[in-house]
Amino acid sequence: MSVLPRKPRAGEIVGYYQGYVDEAGEDEPLAALERGLEETAELVRELGEARGGFRYAPGKWSVRELVGHLSDGERIFAYRAFRMARGDRTPLASFDEDAYVAASGYDRRTLADLLEEFATLRRASLQLFRSFDAAAWERTGVASDKPFVVCAFPWMMLGHERHHRRVLRERYR
């Protein structure tokens, strides 16, 4: 049986990332990440391929770019959690999500392809998280010049996805 991650305490993550933990609410994060995958896919399928290139304002991401960004975030958060859970204390660099999206070519891909990639990454993240024991969840590290505890990553991923799902509902429909 896997050990579930506790919610991070004050000071174990800071600033920008605390907003994602707050957005996650009180749900058990691994089960919520599983449910969230289908909720996001359903919303994106509802928008449809014809709206994949839609941007709600100049300079904003298209629907395809937003879905691709979810995959970028999934990779980054899971990688950080993996490194820290394994005891790697090397500070990890930040990333510029706008630069990543600009270099991605996401608008040349279909929404179906982007959703499949996101689903694959989410399943891999969940498998990784379910492999962590209690000690792994409590390890710490530094990323983006900020302290993190490993147990924060599923909560951040959940809040990140919920944030972008809300943006899809409010600005892309």
Pairing of β 140-143 and β 146-149:
antiparallel
- In the prediction, which pLDDT does 11 show? 87
- In the prediction, which pLDDT does 14 show? 83
- In the prediction, which pLDDT does 16 show? 86
Q: Read out DSSP for 13-73?
A: S-THHHHHHHHHTTS-HHHHHHHHHHHHHHHHHHH-GGGTT--SSTTSPPHHHHHHHHHHH
* Residues 74/118, Cβ–Cβ less than 8 Å: yes
Q: Tokens standing for 91?
A: 């500070």
- In the prediction, which pLDDT does 15 show? 82
pTM of model > 0.85: yes
Enumerate domains of the chain plus CATH numbers.
Answer: 16-172 (1.20.120.450)
Let me know the angle formed at the C-alpha of 69 by 25 and 37, rounded to the nearest 5 degrees.
50
Rounded to an integer, what distance in angstroms lies between the CA atom of residue 143 and that of residue 97? 15
- In the prediction, which pLDDT does 141 show? 97
Report how far apart, in Å, the C-alpha atoms of 87 and of each of 3, 12, 150, 153, 158 are: 18, 16, 10, 15, 23
- In the prediction, which pLDDT does 10 show? 86
Per-residue tens of pLDDT for the chain, all 173 residues: 579 999 999 889 988 899 999 999 988 999 999 999 999 999 999 999 999 999 999 999 999 999 999 999 999 999 999 999 999 999 999 999 999 999 999 999 999 999 999 999 999 999 999 999 999 999 999 999 999 999 999 999 999 999 999 999 999 99
* Residues 41/48, Cβ–Cβ less than 8 Å: no
Rounded to an integer, what distance in angstroms lies between the CA atom of residue 145 and that of residue 55? 32
Rounded to an integer, what distance in angstroms lies between the CA atom of residue 6 and that of residue 3? 9
